[in-house]
Structure 1
Amino acid sequence: MNSLVIALLCFVGYVVAYHTYGKFLSKKIFQTNEALECPSCSLQDDKDYVPTKKEVLFGHHFTSIAGLGPIVGPAIAIIWGWVPAVIWVFFGSIFMGAVHDFGSLIVSMRNKGRSVGDVASSLISSRVRTLFLLIIFFELLIVIAVFALIIGILFNMYPASVIPVWGEVPIAILLGYMVYKKGAGHTGLGILAVIIMYATVVVGAYVPLSMPTIGGMNPIVIWVVIMLAYAFIASTLPVQFLLQPRDYINGHQLIVALGLLAIGALVAAPAFVAPAVNMNPAGAPPIFPFLFVVIACGAISGFHSLVSSGTSAKQCENERDCQFIGYGSMLTEAALSTLVIVAVGAGIGLGLTTSDGSVITGTTAFTTHYANWSTAAGLGAKLGAFVQGSANLMASYGIPGQIALTIMGVFLVSFAATTLDSATRIQRYVVAELAEAYNFKPATTPIGATLVAVGTAALLCFHDGTSIGAVKKGALALWPLFGTVNQLMAAMALLVITVYLARKKVRTVFTAVPLVFMVAMTGWAMVYNLNNFMAKQNWMLFGIGLAVFLLEIWMIIESVIVLKSLSGSEPEPDPSTA
């Protein structure tokens, strides 16, 4: 099957879905009202609550939700075949992921920009709020620790990305200053900033910077420390000072990357060398339910609800923008995942360099890279397949290999960094909400809450020591649980949205069906994982997994009780319109 045909069909489908199903959800289900005053205006503090034009906020929101998720997930899941991966990304994003993101944004905006976990106290009960915030804290703890490590590994793998990635920081600060302090237009300056950023990509390609060993510390460990310090600073600064303009630049970078890959798919038009369906790859867990856990961000991801209700709800200046930001961003991410499937399922067949320096092509290239689950699931394999396949697509129309590799390396690190500092900022909100609920004043301030967020992640990274082996062991110890916890959180966010719609006496089927599906898949995957942890006598993972699983069951029981009590009651007004 020609990959170009599949990509084009999916892209057309995403556009049609946005203008049909997305518009239906906006008008009939969430009933967006542009006359309502949003939290960004009513609570404006020019630090977290900042009214923002939808084009700028789209860039910040999209780069925050994307990260490496829509790349890593499909790059692993294609081992089960490209057909299941494409089907789940396409239908999952339209009918589940985009609904989840859109709903989280609306519910938060109508509750003063509070996180979806905190809103659960008003919609369900204070106990559920605590349970949900604890689950969120646990996931973000893993995200911060692991992404700090991933960025260190990426800088080590792609030293040519160091200059461009760090060059984005002063460029973004200058862009924010010109737009917010001098009143300059963001479109023209944004394009100029992207051009300057890509000039640094060329510099980085020919002037790679490798971190040396300092004080006996491995370069990756040093990068982890630097990234945690950066995350602390970035998450405490006003959002329009660094995060928002940098993500606006990254939003343009994404458009460029998508364009380059799309042109490559058009010019090379490679056929899929991955199998259409492979139900039993060597050493892999069963396709059901793990396809729906491994591919998260490209189809549906609980982390998105944290971005929608953590940062974007505090910046959206009008409810009419919510469909574009919430629903549209998810479909754009699905488009990225579709191109990732093309790159790793077809582009890799254009040429793969093996460890001995030989180049193999076609089906042999794919089967060599995806010989079994253990080789496909490693970080280097995940990212390497995407980078190699993408470089092959770009080479088809003349972009030099070194430049292509640097472009994709910068793309990966930039999005990983966006996930890191967005997760740290959201964790700051979560810590502050928990601290306020239990009257622990030191952790309610931005500095205090961020210290807790970064400090706990540092403990996870370094509790076993500062050697590279210890850091990988510490940060990755809980990673096997991350996928299921992330999708569990998506189910819980859908649960909150469903209760919200039930209280408004709006049809809940459009969120309830995705909710039931995600509860079933994540519950199934969690039971599988618990059995696996128990068989391997990994009692730490077993204990944490069991605790999270019981929290989910508790939340569902409490929510069902609330839903039953709403039968026959009058619709409730939103806090913002009461």
Structure 2
Amino acid sequence: MTTLAIALGAMVFYLVAYHTYGRWLGHKIFRLSTSAEVPSVAMEDGKDYVPTSKGVVFGHHFTSIAGTGPIVGPALAVMWGWLPALLWVLFGSVFIGAVHDLGALVVSMRNRGHTVGDIAGRVISPRVRVLFLLILFLALTIVLAIFGLVIASVFETYPQSIAPCLLQIPLAVAIGLLIHRKGGNIMWASLLALALMYLSVVYGNVGWLGEMNTWLKAQGVMWWVSVLLVYSYVASVLPVWVLLQPRDYINALQLLATLALVVMGLVVAGVFGGAVVDGIRPELKMVAPAVESSLELKQVPAIFPFLFITIACGAISGFHCLVSSGTSSKQLRCETDARFVGYGSMLTEGFLAVLVILACVAGLGLGISGAGGETLLGTEAWDARYQGWGSMNLAAKVGAFVDGSANFLKALGLSAEFSTALMGVFVASFAATTLDTACRLQRYVVQELATCLMPADGVRRPGVGFRRPLSCLANKHGATIFAIAVAWWMASLPGAPGKPAGTGGLILWPLFGATNQLLGGLAFLVILFWMKRQRMPLWFLIVPAFLMLVLPAWAMAHQIFVQAVGGTESWIGQQRWLLVGIGLLSLVLELWMILEAVWAWKKLKAGGLDESQERAE
């Protein structure tokens, strides 16, 4: 019953946090108002600034921030023990992650929907804007280079998920056109789309669809990475109502419905046991240690700082500030909706991370296939899947969650094939929504960088000297093509000698968590400066900001100087120069930005406010 108690306790904890701490932040700190003018109304253009109901924006926001981060991070972090991972997810999401997301969303809405990077230039210093945008560019490049590989890996492992994921695209476009042109009800249209998607999971691997899945699986990683980046380009340049909003809304319904099924399965397994194996229903229990005592034997790194960057999404993620300020702030039609979208989405993601932990440390114990084809139960199943830190590659981390959560679904009486396919679609859908949102955000970043670095008359005189390429990058098509070209080049590198092209994203995987958390710390800096200028209380932000600046830098320095350069393997031969180069550049940019912030803070305390920086453009 421990597993069931943790799941229900986490749900209650998050509901209480939303209606207490979240309400306090919204009403007392940020003073959200229904009468405040919002960017989506003031700057409506039918493309990026589109007034939208909070339910639809929640769908976009939640599916964009979640991705596979709250799946692969917790699935690996349980190697320190399920208790440390669970505590970090619960308290990190409520007091750090959700505060970060809501703060970034509110700050952006109060600054005409501008991104956090752009706002940094006004509230701290113009140089910080460029520094922050460069850090954003590096972070989003890592996301684009990795997430195409993540989706390709899911499709390779679970080919039955390919057809349902592909079906989402024409369904989303049809719903977007219907709602925008005919003014139909998006709820009913999306429920119909959801029903069709579940049918596609049932029949998506039958007949010619099964043959198509097999053929697509055989095309290789680089083929999939290329196709997915081309798709991201199209999704990035289209108006948000055509594909981004309806696709994310459909995905949100599908993902929330799947989460509900997982919870129902967990309850049934907790009360009656799992699906029948050899005539018995296995007992649902925690088969992993609460705190791992054999870290050295399993080659698990030190819990400080690595637990706190391994679980990024699910506790706190800097990528979320880009979604909050890059897309969501341009779509909310009422300022008070920010708490539901910003704070509520993060708590929902935290609950997903809790379910991932339970699926890996309890769900796996309900039965997995062993190397010899036999069914392993309990601690044998755990030991077979979690042999050591080095054995937990990307496919193993995703597989631990898929197999464990599928066991919860099988406890409801669903077939093993349907349960596995549904969870495969679940993971791939999350990753895909993150990929296309990240591409749109990277387009904004590239455009802002081009504007920052271009001479004042660069747009008017694009044919003079070096101004032409910069003016091309200020265009949405040029910026998006540049973004996916850089990501494609990084992904096209072989991950290691003998590895195929397309696995290069794995080179950057060790930096993903650290860069993500570092971005969160820098976003906290921007939020702090903006709130200081507005003379708002800051005490609740000091500790989160400090932790998210120190822990990621500590982890990144260890990955660069100890693991990559000082390791026994040839980091040059494995293209680790890419990891070292991006890691060092990120650290230098962080240090520079912090020094700029310290200098600006002293001026701010001395009363040296610059009026041109204090007002929103």
TM-score interval w.r.t. the shorter chain? Answer: over 0.9
2:281 is the alignment partner of 1:251: no
Query: What's the counterpart of residue 370 of structure 1?
Result: 386
Q: Once the 2 structures are TM-superposed, how far is the Cα of residue 4 of structure 1 from its aligned partner?
A: 0.6
- Quick one: structure 1 residues 575 and 54, their matched pair in 2 at CA, closer, same or farther if it must change by over 3 Å? farther
- The farther-off stretch of 286-295 and 536-545 is 536-545
Check the 8 A contact 2:221/2:501 in 1, yes or no.
no
Root-mean-square deviation over aligned CA pairs: 2.1
Query: What's the counterpart of residue 440 of structure 2?
Result: 425
2:611 is the alignment partner of 1:567: no
- The farther-off stretch of 298-307 and 104-113 is 104-113
Instruction: Show CA shifts across 1:374-410 (max 9, x none).
Output: 112x011101111110111111120000000111111
State how far apart, in whole Å, the 2-side matches of 1:497 and 1:417 are: 29
State how far apart, in whole Å, the 2-side matches of 1:250 and 1:385 are: 22
Instruction: Show CA shifts across 1:172-196 (max 9, x none).
Output: 1111122111111122222122111
Any unmatched runs of 5+ in structure 1?
none
State how far apart, in whole Å, the 1-side matches of 2:139 and 2:613 are: 29
Query: What's the counterpart of residue 449 of structure 2?
Result: 434
Check the 8 A contact 2:140/2:438 in 1, yes or no.
yes
One-letter code aligned to 2:314: G
2:527 is the alignment partner of 1:497: yes
- Quick one: structure 1 residues 577 and 452, their matched pair in 2 at CA, closer, same or farther if it must change by over 3 Å? closer
State how far apart, in whole Å, the 1-side matches of 2:556 and 2:497 are: 31
One-letter code aligned to 1:374: G
State how far apart, in whole Å, the 2-side matches of 1:99 and 1:64 are: 17
Query: What's the counterpart of residue 68 of structure 1?
Result: 68
2:576 is the alignment partner of 1:534: no
Any unmatched runs of 5+ in structure 2?
271-283, 455-469
State how far apart, in whole Å, the 1-side matches of 2:614 and 2:23 are: 24
Instruction: Show CA shifts across 1:525-571 (max 9, x none).
Output: 12221222221363623333222112111111211222222226499
State how far apart, in whole Å, the 2-side matches of 1:247 and 1:335 are: 19
Q: Secondary structure at the match of 1:274?
A: coil
Q: Once the 2 structures are TM-superposed, how far is the Cα of residue 468 of structure 1 from its aligned partner?
A: 9.1
State how far apart, in whole Å, the 1-side matches of 2:32 and 2:180 are: 28
One-letter code aligned to 1:294: T
- The farther-off stretch of 63-72 and 110-119 is 110-119
2:291 is the alignment partner of 1:277: yes
State how far apart, in whole Å, the 2-side matches of 1:129 and 1:326 are: 23
Check the 8 A contact 2:492/2:502 in 1, yes or no.
no
Check the 8 A contact 1:80/1:280 in 2, yes or no.
no
- Quick one: structure 1 residues 283 and 339, their matched pair in 2 at CA, closer, same or farther if it must change by over 3 Å? same
Query: What's the counterpart of residue 38 of structure 1?
Result: 38
Q: Secondary structure at the match of 1:298?
A: coil
2:517 is the alignment partner of 1:487: yes
Instruction: Show CA shifts across 1:439-490 (max 9, x none).
Output: 2211111111111111111111225699993424422222211211111001
- Quick one: structure 1 residues 104 and 469, their matched pair in 2 at CA, closer, same or farther if it must change by over 3 Å? same
One-letter code aligned to 1:553: L
Query: What's the counterpart of residue 3 of structure 1?
Result: 3
Check the 8 A contact 1:504/1:573 in 2, yes or no.
no
- Aligned pair partner of 1:459 in 457, 469, 489: 489
2:590 is the alignment partner of 1:552: yes
State how far apart, in whole Å, the 1-side matches of 2:428 and 2:67 are: 9
- Aligned pair partner of 2:473 in 401, 424, 443: 443
State how far apart, in whole Å, the 1-side matches of 2:266 and 2:517 are: 31
State how far apart, in whole Å, the 2-side matches of 1:177 and 1:52 are: 15
State how far apart, in whole Å, the 2-side matches of 1:212 and 1:268 are: 37
State how far apart, in whole Å, the 2-side matches of 1:359 and 1:383 are: 20
Q: Once the 2 structures are TM-superposed, how far is the Cα of residue 518 of structure 1 from its aligned partner?
A: 1.4
5 Å-filtered alignment, 1:212-291, equals 212=215, 218-269=219-270, 270-281=284-295, 282-291=298-307
Per the normalisation by structure 2, the TM-score is 0.90
Query: What's the counterpart of residue 276 of structure 2?
Result: none
Check the 8 A contact 2:123/2:613 in 1, yes or no.
no
Query: What's the counterpart of residue 471 of structure 1?
Result: 501
Q: Once the 2 structures are TM-superposed, how far is the Cα of residue 111 of structure 1 from its aligned partner?
A: 1.3
Q: How many residues are aligned here?
A: 575
- Aligned pair partner of 2:330 in 306, 314, 317: 314
One-letter code aligned to 1:363: T
- Quick one: structure 1 residues 466 and 347, their matched pair in 2 at CA, closer, same or farther if it must change by over 3 Å? closer
Per the normalisation by structure 1, the TM-score is 0.96
- Quick one: structure 1 residues 221 and 467, their matched pair in 2 at CA, closer, same or farther if it must change by over 3 Å? farther
Query: What's the counterpart of residue 123 of structure 1?
Result: 123
- Quick one: structure 1 residues 527 and 272, their matched pair in 2 at CA, closer, same or farther if it must change by over 3 Å? same
State how far apart, in whole Å, the 2-side matches of 1:264 and 1:529 are: 39
Check the 8 A contact 1:201/1:407 in 2, yes or no.
yes
Q: Once the 2 structures are TM-superposed, how far is the Cα of residue 309 of structure 1 from its aligned partner?
A: 0.7
Query: What's the counterpart of residue 78 of structure 1?
Result: 78
Q: Secondary structure at the match of 1:535?
A: coil
Check the 8 A contact 2:369/2:375 in 1, yes or no.
yes
Instruction: Show CA shifts across 1:180-215 (max 9, x none).
Output: 11111122222122111111111114343335389x
Query: What's the counterpart of residue 142 of structure 1?
Result: 142
Q: Once the 2 structures are TM-superposed, how far is the Cα of residue 355 of structure 1 from its aligned partner?
A: 2.5
State how far apart, in whole Å, the 2-side matches of 1:506 and 1:320 are: 18
Q: Secondary structure at the match of 1:181?
A: helix
5 Å-filtered alignment, 1:493-532, equals 493-530=523-560, 531-532=562-563
State how far apart, in whole Å, the 2-side matches of 1:502 and 1:553 are: 21
State how far apart, in whole Å, the 1-side matches of 2:616 and 2:222 are: 50
Check the 8 A contact 1:498/1:508 in 2, yes or no.
yes
State how far apart, in whole Å, the 2-side matches of 1:279 and 1:303 are: 33
State how far apart, in whole Å, the 1-side matches of 2:495 and 2:360 are: 36
One-letter code aligned to 2:352: L
- Quick one: structure 1 residues 213 and 327, their matched pair in 2 at CA, closer, same or farther if it must change by over 3 Å? closer
Query: What's the counterpart of residue 350 of structure 2?
Result: 334
